[in-house]
Each structure stands twice: as structure tokens, then as C-alpha cells.
Structure 1
Amino acid sequence: MALELWIRLSTLNSTLLEILPLSLTTPVGALSRSPPAHGRIHQLLVAHIALRRAAGSLQKHFGLPVAAIIAYTLWGETDSAYQVLLEVLRPAWYSRERLCSSATSSTMWFVYGWIKLSTVALACAAISDTDAATGLILLRTSAESSDRRCPDLAAFLQWTTYSPPLFFSAAGFFNVDRSLLVNALAVIITYVVILGQITPSE
């Protein structure tokens, strides 16, 4: 769903880039005879509002499950990294306790969990960046055409300017974006170091 939302926002931006130059280069006297471009801007405004509402609904219904999935993934990542650390640093104790079949399986689980976490974080970050790009396109266009403003363009610009930035959170516990990957890596390293220190040497 997140990727579909990103695709629709990207398509909207591409359409804006195709329509706005046509609107800006149209002579003033020809504006009344060629309203489709300006009418299309209004359609894109309505589409953008609908996509914003879809993003809000997506976050409302899936915020808590995403928080649970990320928490479970972090737990699994920490456990996998700890298993690898044990086999590398303390192979005798590790083989005696038989905590896992091999470091290879733990490494594979770590990679799988990290890919899943990265997919969620980067998808949400891409949606936020694409939505912000819409406002930048409209702002640049408005600055270049300050002598002849289109009412639909002005309304679209006002909507993107005064709307809060689009971001995703896991039920309000933390934001789901690129910073999540950095924070997750810091948490994994911290707990693995602590577990490594309290693990008996023999």
C-alpha cells in the first residue's frame, strides 16, 4: 500500500511538471480559450488531497501493527547478532550450549530482518520526500510566474504550504523514516555489547 501511494504521488508530480510549463507559457489572452491545463491543476489538487487522506488512513489503521512488527524485528536482529558474536568470540562455550545450529543461519536471519526493516523505513521516507517535492515544484513555479498567477495554482500552493509535513509514525512511538535505520542499528549494537559483557567466559 505504501509503495502504491508513493507511485501515485510520483505520477502526480510528473503530471505537474508536464502541465505547469504549458500553463506558464500560454499567452494571457489565450487563457480563456484554453482552460484544460488550469482545470487539470484543480484535478491534481483534489487528487493530492485524496492521497493525503489515504496516507492518514494508512497510518491510522496500520500504525500499531507496524510498531509491533518493528519491535519484533529489532528483537530478532539483536538475537541474531548476539548468536553470531558468541560463535565468533567464544566458540567453545557456544558449541557446548548449542544455542543455534550455526552462525550462517543467524547471519541469514539478520540480513532478512534488516531488509524487511529497510523496506518499511525507505518506503515511508520516499512517500514523505515525494510529497515535499510537490510543494517545491509549486513554489518554484509560483516564483517564476509571479506576474500572472493561476487561481488553481495559488490554491494548490496554499494547500501544500500550510499543510503539515507528511510523515509516518508507528502508533506515535517513533517515526518511520531513514532515521529509524540509524536508531535501530544503534539499539542492536548497544544491546549486543551489553549481552556480550554479561555472558560468562566459560
Structure 2
Amino acid sequence: MTLVNYSRVLWPFACSTIFVLKDLQLFLEALEYFDGSVQYKKQKRGKLVGLLLCCVSIVLRAAEFSFATIYLSRYPENTRVLLWILYALFGGLESLVLLQITTLVLELRERFRVINDSILTAASPHSDKHFSRILLGTVRQAALVSHLGVDRLHHAHAVLQRAAQLLQQHFGVTLVLHVTTAFSALIYGAYEFLVATWLTSHLLNLVAVVLSCSATVDEAERTRDLVVRVATLQGRPFLSAGMAPLLMQVLTSRPLSFKATGFLTIDRHLLVSARCFTITYLVILAQMSLN
């Protein structure tokens, strides 16, 4: 049965996504601690992005459910009703959890951006302005964060690194099953155009998760680059003592990356792999058809 894929039944029970919320609670506590430390306030832009993702997901799911009703009409009435209920239940639950993953990853990325803005704000007034502008680029005087003491930057950075680890622990197996299902949707949907909405839904979810994880990793890597560049600035007595712990922490900590329980790395290469697998599958089908 294509529409009621086995992974939809197994997926909601993946790891601790639903039943054990310890890691997720610690993740939210880490964000709350960070927000209190830097006096961070959410911006309207973040809310609009979340609302847009939610609306697109609802529209695609509604279209998918309507097409599922037509597709299931070939089955007996009792079986059709049961299959549609299962499809609606697990499909809706899947959308909600994937939307939650994407939103939480973007929340993490926004806080890495706050740290980077704080580094720029703290470094620029205490060095040669011309040299710092060349080395660090344009300084964004962010209104969303008060001046964060340099001596507290490494505490905030450590909290965000820990939050990323907790998020991966909570959603690890879930991401493995989601990526597997998305790959199967790409391969099947490339051949069966009648299930285009199913393909579009899974493709959108995969792209949203991958791009949000990649953007967060990029922002975390930008922190490393900024700290190293700030360390090269001359005439910075204000920074000498405060920036040293953050510099040591950033250089010795492992680069941030989102992994699905060690099986997959969630980054842009995953989208390239999905495209390659789909093209390979179509080439094999074409060769079989010609034979």
C-alpha cells in the first residue's frame, strides 16, 4: 500500500519523540537560560517564518488528504474508511512533528545569530575601525539584544552548543525515518505522477528540515570565524581578558553538525544525494523499458 506507508505507522513511535520529553525539556530550558542572559526578545520576522511554514504544510496536507480519498475509492468501504483514518492520523502527526523540528532548529539558529551580533558589537568600538570593518564586515547594531558582556559570551555559546546536542538526541531516530520516507517518496513519485501531492509534501518537509539545519550550522561556523578574526585585532585591552575563554572554547569544541543518530548528516549534500538517487532510478527504469 503506497499511501499508508509502513514508516507512517512506525514513525510516530521513533525514539523519544513523543513519549520521553526529557531532552526536549532541557533544550527549552537552555533556550530560556540564554534568553534571560542576553535579554533576547523574539522578532516578528521569526514568527512570520513559522506561520508561513505552518500554512504551506496545512495546504499540502489538505490537498494530499483529498487525493487520498479519491485513490482509496477503489477499496471496499470498510477498508477505505480505516485506511483513510490511518493515513490522516499518521500523516497529520508527521507534519506536526516535522514542523516542530524545523521551528526549533530555526530558533537555535536565531540565537547563534544573536551571539554573532554581540561579538561584532563588542569588538568594533575597541579596535582600529578601518581594520575591523575590513576583517569583520558591516556591524549590525541589533536592537533585539542588549550589550552582552564579553566575559559572558562563552557561557551563552556553551549553552547553545548543549541545546543543539539535546535537540539531536531527541529527534535522532525520527529524522532517520523521515529522510528514509522522503527518499522513497522521491523515487516513487518520480515514476508515479498521480501521487504528485505526496511527493511535494515529503519534498517540502525534507527541504525545510535540511535548509534549517544547514543555516544553523552556517551561523555556528560564523561564530568560530568571528572569534578568530576578533582575536587578531590590535589595541583591544577591553577584549583581551574577556574574549580569551570564548576563543579557547570555540577552537577546542567540535564543529556543530546535525546527525540523525549517526546514520545521516543533515546538510545540503543530502538534497544532492536525493536528486542523484532519483535520477539513477529513472535511468534504470528507462533502460528496463527499452529492453
What TM-score, normalized to structure 1? 0.76
Post-superposition shift, 1:62?
0.9
Percent identity of paired positions between Structure 1 and Structure 2: 30
- Corresponding residue for residue 28 of structure 1: none
For 2:160, which of 38, 41, 51 is the aligned residue? 51
**Kept in 2: contact 1:132–1:165 (CA 8 A):** yes
Post-superposition shift, 1:200?
8.8
Distance 1:46 1:174 in 2: 29
- Corresponding residue for residue 99 of structure 1: none
Distance 1:146 1:177 in 2: 39
After superposition, what is the alpha-carbon deviation per residue over 1:93-141, rounded to whole angstroms, capped at 9, x for unaligned? xxxxxxxxx4xxx333323322211111111111111011011111111
Q: Which amino acid aligns with 2:117?
A: S
Distance 2:236 2:153 in 1: 23
Query: What does 1:55-94 align with in structure 2 at a 5 Å threshold?
Result: 55-84=164-193
Distance 1:9 1:182 in 2: 26
Query: What does 1:16-55 align with in structure 2 at a 5 Å threshold?
Result: 16-24=119-127, 40-55=149-164
Distance 1:151 1:136 in 2: 19
- Corresponding residue for residue 5 of structure 1: 108
SS of 2:273's equivalent in the other structure is helix
Distance 1:141 1:195 in 2: 55
For these two proteins, the number of residue pairs brought into alignment is: 170
Is 1:163 equivalent to 2:163 in the alignment? no
Which blocks of at least 5 consecutive residues in structure 2 are unaligned?
1-103, 129-146
The higher relative CO (CA closer than 8 Å, separation ≥ 6) is in 1
**Kept in 2: contact 1:82–1:196 (CA 8 A):** no
Post-superposition shift, 1:147?
6.8
Distance 2:206 2:121 in 1: 35
Q: Which amino acid aligns with 1:171?
A: T
After superposition, what is the alpha-carbon deviation per residue over 1:12-37, rounded to whole angstroms, capped at 9, x for unaligned? 11122112223447xxxxxxxxxxx7
Is 1:14 equivalent to 2:103 in the alignment? no
Is 1:130 equivalent to 2:219 in the alignment? yes
Post-superposition shift, 1:63?
1.1
Post-superposition shift, 1:176?
0.4
**Kept in 1: contact 2:186–2:278 (CA 8 A):** yes
What TM-score, normalized to structure 2? 0.54
Distance 1:68 1:158 in 2: 37
RMSD of aligned Cα (Å): 2.3
**Kept in 1: contact 2:112–2:220 (CA 8 A):** yes
- Corresponding residue for residue 270 of structure 2: 180
After superposition, what is the alpha-carbon deviation per residue over 1:32-83, rounded to whole angstroms, capped at 9, x for unaligned? xxxxx7x711222101100000001111121111010110111112111111
Distance 2:209 2:109 in 1: 12
**Kept in 1: contact 2:182–2:206 (CA 8 A):** yes
For 1:110, which of 191, 195, 199 is the aligned residue? 199
**Kept in 2: contact 1:63–1:170 (CA 8 A):** yes
**Kept in 1: contact 2:127–2:235 (CA 8 A):** no
Change (3 A) 1:47 1:199: same
* Structure 1 segments (4+ residues) deviating >3 Å: 146-149, 195-201
